[in-house]
Homo-oligomer: A and B are copies of this chain.
Amino acid sequence: MYTLKEIQTKIGEYFAAENFNGTPAELYQPIEYTLALGGKRIRPTLLLAATDLFGGDIQQARYAAIGIEIFHNFTLLHDDLMDRSPVRRGQPTVYRKWDENTAILSGDAMHILAWQYFLKQPHSNSHAILQTFGQTCIEIHEGQQYDMNFEHRNDVTIDEYMEMIRLKTAVLLGGALKIGALIANADTADTEAIYNFGIKTGLAFQLRDDLLDAYGDTATFGKQTGTDIRDNKKTFLLLRAIEKGNATQQQRLRELFATTPQDPTDKINEVLDIYNQLDIRHEVEQRIAQLHDQALQHLDQIARPDTSKTPLRTLACTLLDRNF
């Protein structure tokens, strides 16, 4: 068994050993650039940790771990183009550093590369692994489309929002864990339990992201706060505030989320005031705690020694910034 830190070190080594350059350079340089930006490598960590939990050899999961991270970065590359986001991980996004067509074509090539990494290492479970990967990939795209649809709708429910973030964010965490379990030939019940652990953790992770965007964080969260409010994004916070607020608060929120002022400071402050009147922050924190509990219950179901679950338990706590 490996510790979380050892797994993370392994992933660093695995990526360092790869060479993503190729010809024509115009196609491969943006891929190399994107993957060199780093990030927390959460998905490959989950994948290797699951393989290890079920007694598999993490070397056997090496290329699937790289593949899932490449796929994740491909979705970010195309999302940044669709959202016209100029910066990712402190650096210009591909469509800004190069151009739109480069972002489209290099992203597409990166997507193929993800599949090719999955094919580098055949397993007895290969078919199930690839089907899980394909299902996960298509669901993420469905989630992204729902997210885009929600921009034009004013009647999004909290249930719809939770389903959207399940698809857009949670299934990739669940999928990474399930693939790790399949590589280790875990049984069906355990594979399902670890998948559900990932889904619940992913939902909580996205709610935490919504919360941090509104309220920020002391040190760990580097992003500007209030961007979701500025951009009129329908987050859990807004939807719950509209659900919970009185007619005046509902009306005012709808008005504010129909404006895009040059300087959004007053708008952000007024929205946060309403959130505070309605105790939204506390509600989201409670929801995160509840999802985290559910995630841990799924982990408890798994027929492995409790100590072997420490890396995944620690990782979920780190992702959700919750200690207990």
Binding site for B on A (CB under 8 A): 22-24, 26-27, 78, 81-82, 101, 104-105, 107-109, 111-113, 115-116, 119, 122, 126-127, 130-131, 134-135, 137-138, 141-142, 144-146, 148-149
Contacts and interface: CB of A to CB of B under 8 A. Distances in A.
A24 B122 contact: no
Q: Is the interface of A mostly helix, strand, loop or mixed?
A: helix
Contact of A141 (B112, B130, B145): B112
Nearest to A145: B27
A137 B101 CA distance: 18
Leading 4 A-B pairs by shortest Cβ distance: A27-B145, A109-B141, A116-B134, A82-B101
A149 B23 CA distance: 12
A225 to B, nearest CB: 26
A146 B78 CA distance: 21
Given A24-B145, A24-B146, A141-B112, A105 B134 contact: no
B137 A112 contact: yes
Nearest to A146: B24
10 contacts: A23-B142, A24-B149, A105-B148, A108-B141, A109-B138, A109-B141, A112-B134, A115-B137, A119-B131, A130-B130
Nearest to A131: B119
A26 B150 CA distance: 12
Contacts of A149: 24, 26
Given A105-B144, A105-B145, A111-B108, A127 B137 contact: no
